[in-house]
Structure 1
Amino acid sequence: MTIMNQPVVSAAEQEIERLMTLHPKGFDLSLDRVSRLLETLGNPHLKLPPVIHVAGTNGKGSCTAFCRALLEAGGYAVHVHTSPHLVNWHERFRIGVKGGRGQLVEDQLLADALRRVAQANGGQMITVFEILTAATFLLFSEQPADVVLLEVGLGGRFDATNVVPNPAVSVIMPIALDHQAYLGDKVELIAAEKAGIMKRRCPVVIGQQQFEAAREVLVSTADRLGCPLTVYSQDYSAHQEFGRLIYQDEDGLHDLPLPKLPGRHQFANAAAAIRAVKAAGFTVTDQMMEKAMATVEWPARLQRLTEGKLLDFAPKGSEIWLDGGHNPAGGEVIAEAMAGFEERHSRPLYLITGMINTKDPVGYFHAFADLAEHVFTVRIRDSEAGLDPVVLAHSAFDAGLVAEPAASVAEALQEITLRQIPDRPPPRILIGGSLYFAGNVLADNGTPPT
């Protein structure tokens, strides 16, 4: 008997839950286990269409989204692997459709791939991410497509995706301090890990870099490996001019619409994607670029929530934004975007934030010290690593903000509604601090990614 309102667990989710009881959670960076497993499966990673491999601390998901929009605008079938997912595991696997929009993998297809991978593994020690990565390669090798967009999970050198021997292009997006326990506590060390996806004599595109030390590591590694190299601001660039995006590379200037994804940081992300698709050997026309800027989508990256259940709890006329940015560098670009919106001075800004315990919450909140009127902190659901809302509120206070914990996003929105002053413009509300938290919000709102 089905219980009303009980979530339906798909076949693939059941298989993943079973695997998570058998194998360790978290990260154990190595290529040995996944390489062994892939060999047992017949090396599906060697049977892929051209691969665009994308690493970076921030912006790699947006770059992947722009690459997909560009290639699909050209009629190509594009397989896409991203992580983590927001609401459903299926979001990590998008199957390309010739001349159309790629679709999230069908449940039975994913469940079958996971069972085959688990059987091939034979119960040996392995991480769940490695099993999922092997399933990615199995799925993408068996479904026809023109290109694979492969996003790195963590780091680069020892990430399970880094078994592809000859990518069409390796892309390194902005590098900042994150995952220090695994990657090192200096940007040079993190850059060296990300540079691990570069392969000898395979093209490399370096995105905009905040830190010169990171840029130097990336350039020197590409030079040492003899990689054809293009670097942001040196070989290609993008800027806004008269409400348009001007992209420039060796082929000249291109006058394009501003990207659908808001925020100035997306200009450089779009530019890196254009350059990467070109470097991978695909022809990119002005028509493809124009369509891509207008159609690109990437949930929980400054996503405006315009419908859904949660909006009923917010003040009427509110602007509600969702973003999964979670480190200090991410906080800076999100805060810059908030500050750049019209009516900045008339609309009060509220934050509703949830974070996990491996991040730097004070560094994240610092970016909003002169912008946010009040912060509500909420626990991330179904996460052992979620920060206690009281602890998170103290971090916001340490960054110079007024903050208090709330039991849920809905409760925080209700509290903002109670604080609404008559005749004052409705607020702008930014919900974020973690992709896991953003996933909670999209699920509660009834608007999961499709």
Structure 2
Amino acid sequence: MRDFGRSDNPDVQKQLDRLAALSLPQGRIGLDTIRELLKRLGGPHRSLPPVFHVAGTNGKGSVCAFLRAMLEADGKRVHCATSPHLVRYNERIRIAGRLIADERLAELLAEVLDHADGLAPSFFEVTIAASFLAFSREPADACVIEVGLGGRFDATNVLEHPAASGIAALGMDHERFLLAPEEGVPDEQLARIAFEKAGIAKRGVSLVTLSYPEGAELEVERAAARHGSPLAMRGSHWSASTSDTALHYADRHGELVLPLPALPGAHQAENAALALAMLRHQDYVSVSESAYGAGIRSARWPARLQRLAPGPLTGDRAIWLDGGHNRSAGEALARYFEGQSVHLVTGMIEAKDPAALIEPMKSSLLSITVVPVPGYDCHTADAFGADARAAIDVAAALGSLPDDGLPVLIAGSLYLAGDVLRLNEELPD
């Protein structure tokens, strides 16, 4: 299964094969296993530099990218754990600014798996244990940790006292896990999602959030009160807006006028503002105003409205790549391409809803070409509407499009996005 990753390094692949044989690929609800695994490893999660912990449905990876970029622009050494990887497993673990080296990765995975006897840890639990082990052994000024799924029962939620916790945009995704029946949880769906994400709140740690619909906001407020977490919600405790040339931010510390993100899409200004608010609502790591602006401009995040470079797959055509696969992502893409005509090349695994992407974008879609997602059960062309046509792969799909000078968007799956980056020789670094 591709979820477990592949490596050209035989030592890393040996450990990934062990992981595939021992683990639960579908994940697990609960923290008992990760807590026991970390206990066997000596509790590395208690020996980390100050942590910025980020949850959310959409945008949390971008928030992490902005946090890392701002901190590094201030000269800080930053460890970072994000998911999923696009091409190489190493992308999940960044040590002091660099992707983890194969030799070190193989050693860490071996150490974690050797201590996991009888636990049957999930893929993500092993990854987080290896990340925390690496981060505890290498000096740094800060850690940026992205929640994998949900928040309340995510393996990263063993963190006991982060510098700040953040919640990005909320939407519907991973419903099988996050909407599973349970007593004492909200009935309304988005409120339940908010309840799960806000489960990362910790006593005495600022919970920094965007603004949400009323029911979701109420659940975030309740979680903050329940956990004793000071709440810093957009609209109540900080504000952000954009003009044609700037990001305008204000909180109790004052007002800032900063550059707009280089990352395309209006939603990236919101993600940058949330990262900024997280840095300004904590007292563990200081960051200069000049570093805020430099980080906002320098942040990069692959496969999120990424303009592909000329390469073996793309040639010289304008091709955009996005891993978006839910309605919130579809709405963000629709806003970006509003008023334009675009050819869509898409592949989507069976657990996702094609309408979530197609319906928001329908006014911009000139054609829809559906390709398989290699290694996964995925939707066929008929699931995307009567006008959608099939192609055997992305190269064939691109080759079938008219040479009309119009842009192409490849979207629908981060797994598909990873294949596209690999085929176009644009490996994330």
Give the TM-score normalised by structure 2: 0.93
Structure 2 CA distance for partners of 1:10 and 1:64, relative to 1, 3 Å: farther
Match of 1:3 in 2: none
The question of 1:442 aligning with 2:418 is answered: no
The residue identity in structure 1 corresponding to 2:323 is G
Q: Which moved more, 1:116-125 or 1:437-446?
A: 116-125
Match of 1:363 in 2: 356
| Alpha carbons 1:351, 1:372 under 8 Å: kept | yes
Runs (5+) with no aligned partner, structure 1:
1-5, 97-101
Match of 2:303, SS state, is: coil
The residue identity in structure 2 corresponding to 1:307 is P
The residue identity in structure 2 corresponding to 1:219 is E
The residue identity in structure 2 corresponding to 1:60 is K
* Structure 1 residue 319: Cα displacement: 1.8
The residue identity in structure 1 corresponding to 2:298 is T
Match of 1:375 in 2: 368
Match of 1:396 among 378, 381, 384: 384
Q: Provide, for residues 306-361 of structure 1, a one-character-per-residue CA deviation record: whole Å limited to 9, x for no partner.
A: 2221112xxx5x3211111110111101111122xxxx44xx30111111122121
Match of 1:250 in 2: 252
Q: Give the Cα separation in 2 of the matches to 1:293 and 1:352.
A: 30
| Alpha carbons 1:274, 1:284 under 8 Å: kept | no
Identical pairs, percent: 41
Q: Provide, for residues 141-175 of structure 1, a one-character-per-residue CA deviation record: whole Å limited to 9, x for no partner.
A: 01111111110111111111110111111111111
Q: Give the Cα separation in 1 of the matches to 2:12 and 2:247.
A: 41
* Structure 1 residue 10: Cα displacement: 4.4
| Alpha carbons 1:353, 1:432 under 8 Å: kept | yes
Q: Provide, for residues 360-392 of structure 1, a one-character-per-residue CA deviation record: whole Å limited to 9, x for no partner.
A: 211221011111100111111123xx313x2xx
Match of 2:378 in 1: 387
Match of 2:165 in 1: 170
Q: Which moved more, 1:211-220 or 1:293-302?
A: 211-220
| Alpha carbons 1:95, 1:103 under 8 Å: kept | yes
The residue identity in structure 2 corresponding to 1:299 is P
| Alpha carbons 2:162, 2:205 under 8 Å: kept | yes
Match of 2:409 in 1: 430
Q: Give the Cα separation in 1 of the matches to 2:398 and 2:137.
A: 46
| Alpha carbons 1:352, 1:432 under 8 Å: kept | yes
Q: How does 1:39-188 map to 2 (within 5 A)?
A: 39-96=39-96, 102-184=97-179, 186-188=189-191
Match of 2:224 in 1: 222
The residue identity in structure 1 corresponding to 2:208 is V
Q: Give the Cα separation in 2 of the matches to 1:13 and 1:337.
A: 39
* Structure 1 residue 54: Cα displacement: 0.5
Match of 2:395 in 1: 410
| Alpha carbons 1:237, 1:268 under 8 Å: kept | no
Match of 1:283 in 2: 286
Match of 1:194 among 194, 197, 216: 197
Runs (5+) with no aligned partner, structure 2:
1-5, 181-188
Give the TM-score normalised by structure 1: 0.89
Q: Give the Cα separation in 1 of the matches to 2:123 and 2:321.
A: 28
* Structure 1 residue 405: Cα displacement: 1.0
* Structure 1 residue 30: Cα displacement: 1.5
* Structure 1 residue 249: Cα displacement: 1.9
Q: How does 1:216-365 map to 2 (within 5 A)?
A: 216-281=218-283, 282-312=285-315, 316=316, 318-339=317-338, 344-345=339-340, 348-365=341-358
Q: Give the Cα separation in 2 of the matches to 1:165 and 1:39.
A: 14
The residue identity in structure 2 corresponding to 1:327 is N
* Structure 1 residue 207: Cα displacement: 2.1
* Structure 1 residue 72: Cα displacement: 0.3
